[in-house]
Structure 1
């Protein structure tokens, strides 16, 4: 089997497994004609089915009573006795078409349809894989949802792509799941919000508890770029306070009195020495009346 076709078959069986519940080992329902063609092309029927389905098949395929009766009716033909012995190793599926009620065996289409879809509900309840060489059988099975179809064409086992009805049903279910997921997600994430006078927004979380969310405003400066204030010790603060007290003028000082009387006091100057070598005394303050 070529790699591209093998990859398509593997993806196809994955889709059947996800949407219709197919699982290993697969139940393959065969008819008399595919047994003939498999023997004609010297094919291992069970091994070919496992390679096509990319999974294990039941130790023996499933064949109906009507298909066995078709083989018994052609027992005189060459090579059919070998097919009968081989078919006896397969699991027999009782289709309910007893020879007393049906002297002539039913066709493969009618027999397989009664096994795959006994209530005519267009569903493959027991998840059968149908391997048949008759086109009428495959045409009828395309109308039943979730039926993988296999046939042999020139010694190559081929699995048909998913039928139109089956593909539409798969797409419809996927859309329904997608919508259900959207509704579930929107219900859990939906929040009722109301604006407060303080500029806060009230909401409800998933548990239904009210919560407050502050509205974002202008940001402050970066704390890493702001210069930190230096911390002063107690002794430094006391010394600084004493200096301030000394610098401040007293209540009974001359400066305060001159300021109260409106007289401007002149600055004092000290002279180094006089002409006779004696130090000059301090100059007497001169008062100026404004």
Structure 2
């Protein structure tokens, strides 16, 4: 079976299930005309019907009146009679005095109030029976189109009936909801009588500020405490007065730090220069003394 045909029949079945309460297993009433057409096309009704309905269960039935009428026409419908007898006989109320097959099917489907209470489906090739059932009651109709089993599309009258039932059901549901809410209010002490001026009023929401996550954070300046050398020296001098020892030690420490900050090569050169100066001074003092001794 093609995918389009499978989707179409599922759509129709879902419509009847949601709007009119059809439930599987679906009861399909078969008459002699449908059995005869399937026999000519060499179609197995049970097998093809099961494939056509897919996952939904079906129950193929017929009536005593259909079997009796087919037996009276057994010369031309002998094969259809054998096919019809394969399906279970559904009680139609005419077992003692059978009537015409079309009248029997119409009474079975339409019922007393023309509302198809048992949710039957009809499989027939009789156009007169199809028109009469379609005008009087909501019933899915199945027929054979060539070698293919097809379900008719719901007509406008059926759609209007479904819409009317849906509106009525929604109104009833709304009333039921109102009753349930009123009972719950009484149970929890939230009835309309108990609600007075003490009920807090809703705050009106004003304009909201910007999102703090999307805003750029303000830059905070670092607080640094700078102490000048002059202020430090003045304070030490004023505080120390005649304390020269502390001043000399501070100056030495500063010099050492400066020397450390300079390169190691500069300190070496100064040291060598100082040693050289000492050697020259010693030589000069020693030479002056020797000359004086020789003169004496």
TM-score category, normalised to shorter length:
0.5 to 0.7
Asked if 1:84 corresponds to 2:91, the answer is no
Task: Please name the residue that 2:202 is paired with.
Answer: 213
- Kept in 2, the 8 Å contact 1:142–1:165? The answer is no
Cα deviation 1:241-264 (Å, max 9, x = unaligned): xxxxxxxxxxxxxxxxxxxxxxxx
Distance of 1:221 and 1:72 partners within structure 2: 88
Distance of 2:94 and 2:180 partners within structure 1: 55
The root-mean-square deviation of aligned C-alpha atoms, in Å, is 3.6
Residues 1:156 and 1:213: Cα distance change in structure 2 (over 3 Å): same
Cα deviation 1:164-218 (Å, max 9, x = unaligned): 32211111223344566778899999xxxxxxxxxxxxxxx99456343334457
Cα deviation 1:11-36 (Å, max 9, x = unaligned): 11001011111111110001011111
Distance of 2:18 and 2:70 partners within structure 1: 36
- SS of alignment partner, residue 214 of structure 1: coil
Segments of structure 2 that go 5 or more residues without pairing to the other structure are 182-187, 219-296
Shift of 1:122: 2.0
Segments of structure 1 that go 5 or more residues without pairing to the other structure are 190-204, 227-290
Cα deviation 1:104-149 (Å, max 9, x = unaligned): x41x321111111231x22110010100110011101112443100
- SS of alignment partner, residue 9 of structure 2: helix
The alignment covers a number of residue pairs equal to: 203
Residues 1:218 and 1:164: Cα distance change in structure 2 (over 3 Å): closer
In proportion to residue count, which structure has more strand?
1
- Kept in 1, the 8 Å contact 2:26–2:58? The answer is yes
- Kept in 2, the 8 Å contact 1:27–1:62? The answer is yes
Distance of 1:159 and 1:221 partners within structure 2: 62
Task: Please name the residue that 1:110 is paired with.
Answer: 103
Distance of 1:217 and 1:171 partners within structure 2: 44
**Structure 1 length as normaliser, TM-score?**
0.59
- Kept in 2, the 8 Å contact 1:68–1:84? The answer is yes
Higher relative contact order, structure no. (Cα contacts within 8 Å, ≥ 6 residues apart): 2
Distance of 1:220 and 1:39 partners within structure 2: 80
Task: Please name the residue that 1:234 is paired with.
Answer: none
Distance of 2:31 and 2:166 partners within structure 1: 34
Distance of 2:210 and 2:151 partners within structure 1: 71
